[in-house]
C-alpha cells in the first residue's frame, strides 16, 4: 500500500513539474540495473515508513536511477498520451521535467471556440517541458513553476495547467491536479533535498 502510494505521489509530482512532460535528456541510455536499484530503494523507503518507530534515515536517489525507473517501470502508470518522461535535477531545489504529450486530447476535451484561445493550437504529439522549484519539507511538497514550453515555444502557466489537469484526472480528482496543490509526502518522508543530479529523501 505504501509503495503504491509512494509511486503515485512521485508520478503526481512529476506531472506538476512537467513533474507530466519530453524527450529523454541527452546522455547515456537508461540501464535496467539503475531502475532495479531505484525499485529497491523505494521498497526500503516504503517499508521503513510502515514501521511505527524508526530511526531517522536518508536515502539518495540519483537522476540516472530516476530516469531509468521512468523508462522501464512507469509505462503502465502514465496516462494514455504521455510517453518518454524524464527529469533533470538542476540543484538548488530546481527540477526540469519533460515528456512527449498528445496535445490533441487536451484540445478536444477543452473544445476551444475562439480563434484567440491558445488551446486551439495544441496539436499533435509534441515535447512539453517545464522547470520549477520543488519544496518538500515538514512532510509536504509544493511546486513553483518557473517556465514551460511546447516544442521549445514558451507557454503561459495557465496553458500548462490545462495539460497537467487533463492528464492527471482521476475518479478522486475529476478536474486533475492543480499546479498550486500541496502534496502530503508518503511513507513518513519529512523532507526531500534536491541537489544537482540527486535527491535525498529524509525520513
In order, the DSSP letters of 136-182 are EETTEEEEEEEEEEETTEE--HHHHHHHHHHHT--SS-TT---TT--
Handedness of CA 84, 89, 90, 96 (dihedral sign): positive
Q: What average pLDDT does the structure give for the chain? A: 83
Q: pLDDT for 45-84, tens place per residue?
A: 999 998 888 788 999 999 999 999 999 998 888 888 899 9
**Domain range list for the chain:** 2-202
Give pLDDT, residue 162. 86
Note the pTM of the prediction, 2 decimals: 0.81
**pLDDT for 104 beyond 80:** yes
Q: pLDDT for 113-134, tens place per residue?
A: 665 566 666 778 999 999 999 9
**Band of the pLDDT at 172, cuts 50, 70, 90?**
confident
Q: pLDDT for 134-161, tens place per residue?
A: 999 999 999 999 999 998 889 998 889 9
> CB–CB of 130/18 below 8 Å?
yes
Give pLDDT, residue 63. 95
Tell me the C-alpha distance between 45 and 6, whole Å: 9
Tell me the C-alpha distance between 63 and 196, whole Å: 9
All three cell numbers of 95? 527540477
**pLDDT for 20 beyond 70:** no
Q: How many CB atoms lie within 10 A of CB 106?
A: 21
Give pLDDT, residue 169. 85
Give pLDDT, residue 77. 82
**pLDDT for 15 beyond 60:** no
Tell me the C-alpha distance between 68 and 82, whole Å: 16
Give pLDDT, residue 110. 64
The pLDDT > 70 percentage for the chain reads 80
Give pLDDT, residue 21. 33
Amino acid at each position: 500500500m505504501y509503495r503504491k502510494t509512494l509511486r503515485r505521489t512521485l508520478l503526481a509530482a512529476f506531472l506538476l513539474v512537467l513533474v507530466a512532460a519530453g524527450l529523454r535528456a541527452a546522455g547515456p541510455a537508461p540501464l535496467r540495473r539503475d531502475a532495479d536499484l531505484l525499485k529497491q530503494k523505494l521498497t526500503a523507503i516504503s517499508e521503513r515508513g510502515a514501521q511505527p518507530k524508526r530511526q531517522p534515515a536518508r536515502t539518495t536517489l540519483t537522476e540516472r536511477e530516476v530516469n531509468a525507473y521512468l523508462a522501464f517501470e512507469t509505462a503502465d502508470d502514465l496516462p494514455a498520451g504521455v510517453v518518454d518522461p524524464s527529469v533533470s535535477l538542476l540543484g538548488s531545489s530546481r527540477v526540469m521535467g519533460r515528456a512527449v504529450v498528445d496535445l490533441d486530447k487536451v484540445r478536444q476535451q477543452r473544445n476551444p471556440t475562439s480563434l484567440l484561445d491558445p488551446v486551439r493550437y495544441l496539436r499533435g504529439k509534441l515535447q512539453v517541458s517545464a522547470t520549477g522549484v520543488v519544496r518538500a519539507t515538514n512532510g509536504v511538497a509544493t511546486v513553483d513553476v518557473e517556465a514551460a514550453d511546447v516544442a521549445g515555444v514558451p507557454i503561459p502557466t495557465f496553458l500548462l495547467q490545462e495539460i497537467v489537469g487533463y492528464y492527471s484526472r482521476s475518479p478522486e480528482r475529476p478536474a486533475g491536479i492543480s499546479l498550486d496543490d500541496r502534496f502530503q509526502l508518503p511513507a513518513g518522508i519529512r523532507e526531500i533535498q534536491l541537489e544537482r543530479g540527486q535527491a535525498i529523501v529524509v525520513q
